[in-house]
Structure 1
Amino acid sequence: MPAPRPPTVAPAPAPALVQPATPVAPEPTTPPAPAAAPRARGRVGAGAGAALLGYAATRVVGLAVLFAAAAASGEDAWHRLMGRWDAVWYVRVAEHGYGHQTTLPDGAVHSDLAFFPLFPALERALSAALPIGAAPAGLAVAWAASLAAAWGVYAVGAQVAGRRAGVALAVLWGVYPTAFVQSMAYTETLFTAFAAWSLYAVLRGRWVLAGGLAVLAGLTRPSAVALIASLVVTALATAVRERRVAPRLAAGVLLAPLGWVAYVVYVAVRTGSPTAYFDVQAGWGNRIDGGAALARFVWDLLTGPAPLAGAGLLAAFAVLGWAVWLCVRQRQPLPVLVYTLAVVAVSLVGAAYFGSRPRLIMPAFPLLLPAAVALVRLRTRYAVAVLAAAASASAVYGAFTLLGPGPP
């Protein structure tokens, strides 16, 4: 009888090579497999807590500095957060509906039809459900939306550059120079929440959800045209690449502009003029002039009694241009990049009051993604020190602006 053969032992598989993580992953050429989706969502959710805690900490610092400065100067900090500038117009719409306008000494007419309806509608609904007025309801909506926005900013950052970069991106958005607006009864947080989650839905291939969120963004702010452009350009590129138009893609793109278009049509029907909405914006000085008014403003500073202020603005525009270039160089996914470029363009090509432009650019959170990627490469204590310094500077600037006559 032959001797038994020893059992064959399979060699142990060689360990897989671990490739170094790249700062930004290029947009996938094919949608991720369905089986991978739950794991991706888990990774996004796993870091959301850190992102929200970090973001909330920046806003708490801002509010603490504001209330301390207000107490020292005898001002009402709550009034500064929910009873000034555009917040007053939203409350009036929430309480009385549209129909109010103010004529300035120079003949310009400021109509409340310039303000999109979703935010005052939420103010009215919340004030009807709770024993609070429309003004505190607006503040509650803005604060809740700021957390939703920070979560969406994190989700986009994590999808594009990894979880740690997503956390850093959310915190950086909270220390933006004009981040004090995120604590006011304004629409920036609500719009950014819809925009960020819409972009995330596109990155995940969920076109109908992306289009539905774009509808809500279009009922919140006119700058939703940037988000709509992002979805349209990405859909065209996807259709060309795949040589077909998927039904869900078509549905999402057709949905996207409906909110913005619906309000523009409402204003046209209400006033009896097809160009009424644009006429209303022109009354506020928000006509599109290709940036001519902005150029004149900077030139007047450079040649007037405040040339250093003009030089400072030129330096700020150089930093903005550098940030845009870094986003392009970083090869951010097409929907994210188009959205960012469009928000910046919309914020600069109009003849709006200059002090509002940094606020208008604030929803372009992907501008901060290169900085977020660079930040996570630092040692933790250095990154925390940078963010703490930025949060302190943003808080001081916010208190100075809110307790003063307006944006300096």
Structure 2
Amino acid sequence: MPVQPAPGRAALAALAAYAAIKALGLAVLFLWAELADRSAHRLLAERWDSLWYVRVVEHGYGFTLTAPDGRVLSNTAFFPLLPWLEEGLSAVTPLGPADAGLAVSAVASLAAAWGIFRLVDHLYGPRAGVLTVVLWGALPVGIVQSMAYSESLFTALAAWSLYAVVRGHWPAAGLLAALAGLTRPVGLAVAAAVWAGAYLALRNNSGTDSSTANSSGSGNKNTGSERLRILAGVLLAPLGAAGYVLWVGIRKGSPLFGYLDVQGAWGNGFDGGLAFARFIGGLITSTPPAGLALAAGVIALLWLYTRGIRQGQPLPLLVYSGIVMVLALCSSGYFGSKPRLLMPAFPLLIPAAVALARTKAPVVWAVTGLLSAAAAVYGAFWLHGSGPP
């Protein structure tokens, strides 16, 4: 069995490996942009969603654009935490909102890597923690972690909230879940994970480490104060997402459905995956290799999720990654964005990381090196395409 590194050194190794993967991806992107006579900075900070976040900073909520087909696109579709941070950072530094977004994303991506490591290290050991971080950084769409997008910020908040859940730190878990809910609509997945963990903690009469209680059935009896802490986490968790959705709904004259109307104008909705299934079917008919590869990717995701269940992942992680996966795969929006919408579902990578952790070092280096190089090339290719990631 491979020797497990000391947790402190493993954390540094995880962050160093992650930073190296990101540096490689950015180097390839900038080289590709130079050869293509394009601006890598613009691709990272001033196109697609990142431009809409800047519009929130510069114009406030209520800014709209009319699409060529007549749809009115509103910036209220974009949750407020990232533009708030962009505005705050640009107010106290020379950075403009777009560059502030890049800075927030850079810091948040490191915070996400650290949170993922702490969570997986707590559950499966430091070697698995390091490799989960590496696999997350080396995702084919990992370049998004370096963009002025909200995925890195959301993943950081989600990872640390899940870590707080498995450690039984309920107010912190609820607060982080609330902040995640102010970052992306899927923040409700983090709230659901907090609720799942709270249910297990109360059921097992454990107010300390819910992961330990789940596996052994032992733990300290809940005191009244511990139950209040659990209740605080439960109540805090949904406030961010629910509060913003309600605020948008009130502005639109329909508290419950106003935000859905905003997303509908963008072409986003939930149809149980019918539109995505038709898209895959059409792709198989028109371009069989691409369609079959996409179908295989979906099957791989489902397989990883079932492996997580068989692995005995804590219920909060399964709830979180399951909801993220369902919302990504079963929405009817722009299909090119589905890979990045799945990126925060990092618990799906844990079974692969645990398996890789049992292999010898040369195998680990070969696999992770190949994945990192492929992600760097694909990321540059992806951002130079015509559509948004």
Which TM-score applies when normalising by structure 2? 0.91
Match of 2:69 among 101, 106, 118: 106
- Is 2:329 aligned against 1:328? no
Aligned twin of 2:140 = 177
Kept in 2: contact 1:44–1:159 (CA 8 A): no
Q: Distance in 2 between matches of 1:73 and 1:165?
A: 39
For 1:227-271, what per-residue CA distance to the aligned partner results, in whole angstroms no more than 9, with x for missing partners? Answer: 111111221232223296811111101100011111112112222
Q: Distance in 2 between matches of 1:404 and 1:261?
A: 35
Please state how far the C-alpha of 1:46 moved relative to its aligned partner: 4.3
Matches for 1:358-373 after TM superposition, within 5 Å: 358-373=339-354
What SS does structure 1 have at the residue aligned with 2:306? helix
Matches for 1:6-405 after TM superposition, within 5 Å: 44-242=7-205, 246-274=227-255, 275-303=257-285, 305-405=286-386
Please state how far the C-alpha of 1:363 moved relative to its aligned partner: 0.3
Q: Distance in 1 between matches of 2:309 and 2:360?
A: 26
Q: Distance in 1 between matches of 2:23 and 2:360?
A: 24
The AA in structure 1 aligned to 2:139 is: Y
Q: Distance in 2 between matches of 1:100 and 1:201?
A: 37
The AA in structure 1 aligned to 2:376 is: A
Please state how far the C-alpha of 1:333 moved relative to its aligned partner: 1.1
Q: How large is the Cα RMSD of the aligned pairs?
A: 1.8
Kept in 1: contact 2:136–2:346 (CA 8 A): yes
Please state how far the C-alpha of 1:44 moved relative to its aligned partner: 4.8
For 1:290-336, what per-residue CA distance to the aligned partner results, in whole angstroms no more than 9, with x for missing partners? Answer: 11111111122223x22332222111111111111111111111111
Equivalent pairs counted in the alignment come to: 369
| Structure 1, 44-53 or 392-401: larger mean CA deviation | 44-53
Please state how far the C-alpha of 1:90 moved relative to its aligned partner: 0.2
What SS does structure 2 have at the residue aligned with 1:84? coil
What SS does structure 1 have at the residue aligned with 2:333? coil
Kept in 1: contact 2:166–2:197 (CA 8 A): no
Task: Give 5+ residue unaligned stretches, structure 1.
Answer: 1-19, 24-42
The AA in structure 1 aligned to 2:259 is: Y
Q: Distance in 2 between matches of 1:93 and 1:105?
A: 22
| Structure 1, 226-235 or 187-196: larger mean CA deviation | 226-235
What SS does structure 1 have at the residue aligned with 2:337? helix
Q: Distance in 2 between matches of 1:173 and 1:335?
A: 19
Q: Distance in 2 between matches of 1:269 and 1:261?
A: 12
What SS does structure 1 have at the residue aligned with 2:204? helix
Q: Distance in 2 between matches of 1:283 and 1:254?
A: 31
| Matched-pair identity in % | 53
Q: Distance in 1 between matches of 2:130 and 2:296?
A: 28
Q: Distance in 1 between matches of 2:293 and 2:134?
A: 26
Please state how far the C-alpha of 1:45 moved relative to its aligned partner: 4.2
For 1:369-408, what per-residue CA distance to the aligned partner results, in whole angstroms no more than 9, with x for missing partners? Answer: 1111111212212211211110000000000011221369
The AA in structure 1 aligned to 2:156 is: A
Kept in 1: contact 2:48–2:388 (CA 8 A): no
Which TM-score applies when normalising by structure 1? 0.87
Please state how far the C-alpha of 1:203 moved relative to its aligned partner: 0.8
Looking at CA atoms only, which structure, 1 or 2, has the larger radius of gyration?
1
What SS does structure 2 have at the residue aligned with 1:315? helix
